[in-house]
Amino acid sequence: MTTPALASTPAKNASPDYPIQKVLAERWSPYGFADRPVPEADLSSLFEAARWAASSYNEQPWTYFVATRKDPGEFERLLSCLVPANQAWAKAAPVLVLGVVSLRFSRTNKDNRAAVHDLGLASANLVMEATSRGLSVHQMIGILPDRARELCQIPEHSEAWTAMAIGYKANADALPDDLRERDQAPRQRKPTSQFVFTGSWGQPSSLARRESTPATG
């Protein structure tokens, strides 16, 4: 396992109302990435974690394109698939990943309503494995799907859906003002009473805490 970089940004661990695994509390999405390559062995383990995610009928409808700054041409190609606002900060990350989803079942050619959900499961596995290795992942929906289709020759009934920047957190002081504020802002989440219901919509389950103090860094 790779030794994490020295902390250069204040910890933003979650403050959960109930006990959760440490790796879940430690995960967050920085905008600043250090100029430090990610070992290939670690990247291989990230995609191995994604490989073992659950999926409907074991379809495994996800595909990932990966580029590191070690290959500038390929890195720029994937970077160009992001919207400009994301390119501005993601260009500093050592690794970029494009997540593609197959929207039909391979066996029946019928629509797979679980496909995007399952891409999310695979990416969640990847993110948790990354966090356990001292890496950070910032996921993005702000991409250019049509450009990705052209550049990556994505086939019909598949679609580029998300992207990820992967690397080691950088010192937030080096970021532009707006991004620095985001990286240093406290983490906040809805209380479970707002999304864990029973009986009817809006009726909190007894398993949900009705009041919650926002998490702070």
When mean pLDDT is compared across 17-21, 23-27, 183-187, 213-217, the lowest value belongs to: 213-217
Name the residue among 78, 94, 91, 59 with its Cα closest to residue 163.
Answer: 78
Which CATH superfamily does the domain covering 29-186 fall into? Answer: NADH Oxidase (3.40.109.10)
Confidence of residue 175 (pLDDT cuts 50, 70, 90): confident
Q: What is the mean pLDDT of residues 46-55?
A: 98
Q: What CA–CA distance (Å, rounded) separates 93 from 33?
A: 5
Reported as a single tens digit per residue, the pLDDT across 64-112 is: 999 999 999 999 999 999 999 999 999 999 999 999 999 999 999 999 9
The CA-atom distances, in angstroms, between 93 and each of 43, 135, 215 are: 14, 11, 27
pLDDT tens digits, residue range 124-138?
999 999 999 999 999
Residue 15: the pLDDT is 87
- pLDDT class for 198, splitting at 50, 70, 90? very high
Q: Which residues, at least 6 apart from 156, have a Cβ–Cβ distance to it below 8 Å?
A: none
Domain ranges (residues) in the chain: 11-18+187-217, 29-186
CA distances from 12 to 52, 76, 169, 183 (A): 28, 30, 12, 9
Q: Where are the beta strands (DSSP E) in the chain?
A: 62-68, 95-102, 136-140, 158-167
- In the predicted model, what is the mean pLDDT of residues 175-199? 87
More confident residue, 186 or 124: 124
CA angle 166, 172, 177 (to 5 degrees): 115
Which one has a higher pLDDT value, 188 or 139? 139
- Distance separating alpha carbons of residues 142 and 162, to the nearest angstrom: 7
Taking 60 as the threshold, does the pLDDT of residue 9 lie above it? no
